[in-house]
Structure 1
Amino acid sequence: MNMMTTLNLRAMVSSDDGEPKTTSYAVAEAFGKRHSDVLRAIKNMKCSLQFRERNFAFTLKNKQIGNTKRNTGFYRMTERGFMFLVMGFNGEKADAIKEAFINAFEWMANQLTQKFQSKWARYNNIVGYRNNRKQQVSCSARDMNVWKHEKHPLDNEIAQLERDLQPSLPYMSGI
């Protein structure tokens, strides 16, 4: 598996609401299969409905075919869904592709973690700065007017970072 293939697989794994995901199109392309065969493989999996609902999301999209548009469907899937699906794909080439996909999922998860850590560091920095400035300003009536202009943007950024740092739990039916 060369570096270019690794980079191509990284492009096939994206962030979806902060979770690494791929698509049935990406699986078909990577494994050299027809998309319809991958859709059939997903449909024929013998997994629980709960597992299917958590790890596979069917999506319709408009596709221009010649002069007509028609709806075509594909699946967005989690790393667990991907692993379950491709478990049955075998051979040396398939194993190399599975390994590269797993590495691509891990790479995306690391990107998301770094983004979170960066926001967390900024949050801690700005909260510390805000608290220090508030203390400084409260000692000086002259700086009160400056503080009035600084306070609102700082509060807004802190509120946005708090929203961004809140873990979001996907809605799961049947729990």
Structure 2
Amino acid sequence: MNKKASKNKVVKDVVEVIMENNQPVVSSLVVAELFKKRHDNVLQSINELEIPDDYRVLNFQATFRDVPGPNGAIRKEPAFNMTRDGFSLLAMGFTGKKAMEWKIKFLEAFNAMEAKLKIVPPQVEANIRFKKAKPEAVKSFEGAARYWCYLENISWEQGKRQIEGEIRVSDIYEMDKLALDSAWTYLNMCLYAVPPKMRGVNACSAKDLETVHGLLDYWAYCGNTPRKKLLASICKVMGLKSLKELPKSHVPHAISLIWEGINKHSGKVDALKEASH
């Protein structure tokens, strides 16, 4: 191996592409380090990208790293894990000969990782196909997903593409059982969990929360359950410390979650009544 080839190998090795949610991603911290940029400037560039929200969610995954401070203190530093598409969008703004060299190195690293993912043993692939989800199960999922699209005021095609991108399938109607499980997990998160960046932003007024509090009162009375306990449960599912953090856009989600709880409890009550006769 000549000196030039040896040097190129060292460069490749420091391009760290990792697996996250079954897809290769690269950290904004790595990008900042190798492109010789301040990480806060890289974060600013990502936040200023004029792209649709659903595309941003799929290609820029918010994360944190622990940074040691004085006296043993630890602070959380925000970062992003970027897919190949996310990295490509960001790197469009990086110019110069050195920047171009690093763009190529990063894309080569993505290529290498994706090539490994394509090597699937025939027997494993056959087993996955054998466990294809039942059409009625997929139809059930579609019904719930369409309800989420209604709450988010987006089209079914938009929601469908977002789900497919998140669970890495080309068509939800061709999902296997494992993919369907992942789809339900993601959908439940979308239905109820408030993204961290939205918590406390454009928060509800007391009037905005009247319906939410009214349903909680109803649920507590009919279910003979402490209201405080029900409220804590709702906030936990939505990822909130209190309803003061609930953004106005997620009021329908909160109402839906409470109504689901009321219906589940009503079913249990009816079952108990039938068993007593």
TM over 0.5: yes
Q: Higher strand proportion, which one?
A: 1
TM-aligned CA deviation for residue 121 of structure 1? 3.5
Matches within 5 A, 1:74-85: 74-85=79-90
1:52/1:163 CA distance change after superposition, 3 Å: same
Q: Distance in 2 between the 1:122 and 1:49 partners?
A: 35
Q: Distance in 2 between the 1:60 and 1:7 partners?
A: 23
TM-aligned CA deviation for residue 62 of structure 1? 3.1
Name the structure 2 match of 1:105.
110
Matched, 1:57 2:61: yes
Among candidates 57, 65, 70, match of residue 66 of structure 1? 70
What is the number of equivalent residue pairs in this alignment? 132
Among candidates 22, 26, 30, match of residue 22 of structure 1? 26
Matched, 1:2 2:8: yes
In the TM superposition, structure 1's runs of 4+ consecutive aligned residues that sit over 6 Å from their partners are: none
Q: Deviations over 1:42-89 (max 9, x none)?
A: 111111212111111111333212222112110011110000001110
Normalised by the length of structure 2, the TM-score is 0.43
Name the structure 1 match of 2:140.
none
* Structure 1 residues without counterparts, runs of 5 or longer: 126-161
Among candidates 87, 96, 111, match of residue 91 of structure 1? 96
Q: Distance in 2 between the 1:61 and 1:16 partners?
A: 15
Task: Calculate the aligned-residue CA RMSD, in Å.
Answer: 2.7
* Structure 2 residues without counterparts, runs of 5 or longer: 1-6, 128-175, 192-277
Q: Distance in 1 between the 2:67 and 2:177 partners?
A: 35
Q: Distance in 2 between the 1:4 and 1:103 partners?
A: 14
TM-aligned CA deviation for residue 24 of structure 1? 0.5
Q: Whose relative contact order is higher, 1 or 2, with alpha carbons under 8 Å and at least 6 apart?
A: 1
Normalised by the length of structure 1, the TM-score is 0.66
